[in-house]
A and B are shown apart, each in its own frame.
Chain A
Amino acid sequence: MINKIIPSIEQALANIHDGATIMIGGFGGAGQPAELIDALIEQGARDLVIVNNNAGNGETGLAALLKTKRVRKIICSFPRQADSQVFDGLYRAGELELELVPQGNLAERIRAAGAGIGAFFTPTGYGTALAKGKETREINGKMYVLEHPIHADVALIKAERGDRWGNLTYRKTARNFGPIMASAAKLTIASVHEIVELGSLDPESVITPGLFVHRVVQVPRSATGPAGFKAA
């Protein structure tokens, strides 16, 4: 029998090795798997490369992980925010390497990894500092930049409902990077707020088919808080 449901978050995070490349879902607070990040901090893996859209908000979640100094490099599109003080400090001190990627290229590089694409030409970034040193090509009169996929050892994503095959649904814009990150990692760990019987998710509404997911762990439902700007 296939059963990807893992009884505890500690077990779900087992065997993540030092030096791993870890994709973490979320755009600001929405879709950020806070419980999995906390468990990763507990787990203690170090020398990590993190892939996320941002570089942490406030002092919790990804920011708390950065604070442990176990992250060697972050690949993201938008690190600097009103509440990114942890990242800002580490970056300015030269303690954290940054690979800055335009957001759509970040998403497509992740998608490409999951879809088995070797590399792709994209118009985004052509002629800018972020395409410096990259191969370019004119295709039908338009200029493109060659971008390569981003593969990960582990993806930590937040979904809404899941079943024992790993099928997932999401909630509103918290979906963001979840489905593509799930496809791009060797080990995809999803937190869900609800575990349901196999067959009870509407097959038309399954967003991430279970074959992309290896471990599912339930976490208590809590309201997503605001992130990305200074609270008034």
Chain B
Amino acid sequence: MAARVAQDIPDGAVVNLGIGLPTLVANQLPSDREVILHSENGVIGMGPAPAKGEEDYDLINAGKQAVTLLPGGCYFHHADSFGMMRGGHLDVCVLGAFQVSAGGDLANWHTGAADAIPAVGGAMDLAIGAKKTYVMMEHLTKTGESKLVSACTYPLTGIGCVSRIYTDLAVIDLTADGAKVSAIVDGLSFEELQKLTSVPLIMAC
């Protein structure tokens, strides 16, 4: 899944990879492309994790993991960092999700469970803060329900913000015409994919 997302990130793009599954994309970026990674705590030009024992916890990503800085990278304060997002200066943001609706609504911050302690972090800013917001998620929940839904039942993070989803089964563009499937994993037919998905799918030609 991460490799498939990485394929679609163009040379020169400024990208924010959300916490969780999206973090894996960094390791899959083709070496012939120069992609600038942004992390909302205040860094662009983020490099790979440091060698064990070399961690500097003044240099972390939004997941609070130690990272490194590539030549050309720099630091900035939080308001500038979120201004970069809100101001439309990031090309792509890749996020995880509990649910995405066919209309591009995103639910990824809160299960809504009564005893859950809410924590939003940068999720709502990230959702609306890039030219393109992609979601990376398992196609189905652990109990087998489609995570692509006609309307989110979990609390919303953003409205109409997701343009494409990458699942373990398919790549689906959320367009004004509907959910367009552009790729399916080997061995799965369009009809089988449709059976597993709770919104009508269109096969892109």
Interface residues of A (CB under 8 A from B): 27-31, 53, 77-81, 87-88, 91-92, 98, 100-108, 110-111, 122-130, 143, 170-180, 207, 223-229
Contact = CB atoms under 8 A, between A and B. Distances in A.
A174 B58 contact: yes
A105 B78 CA distance: 10
Contacts of A143: 159
Contacts of B55: 226
Contacts of A87: 117
B41 A27 contact: yes
Given A227-B64, A228-B64, A128 B59 contact: no
A155 B64 CA distance: 22
Interface stretch (B123-131, B134-142, B168-176, B183-191): B123-131
Nearest to B59: A172
Contact of A78 (B58, B69, B85, B119): B119
Residues of B contacting A: mostly: loop
A220 to B, nearest CB: 15
Given A27-B41, A227-B64, A78 B121 contact: yes
Interface residues of B, number: 44
Most buried by B among A123, A177, A229: A123
A105 B41 CA distance: 13
A107 B78 contact: yes
A124 B125 contact: yes
20 contacts: A53-B78, A77-B120, A77-B122, A100-B118, A103-B120, A104-B78, A104-B129, A105-B125, A107-B78, A111-B79, A128-B124, A172-B59, A172-B69, A173-B42, A173-B60, A175-B42, A180-B79, A225-B57, A226-B64, A227-B57
A211 B28 CA distance: 46
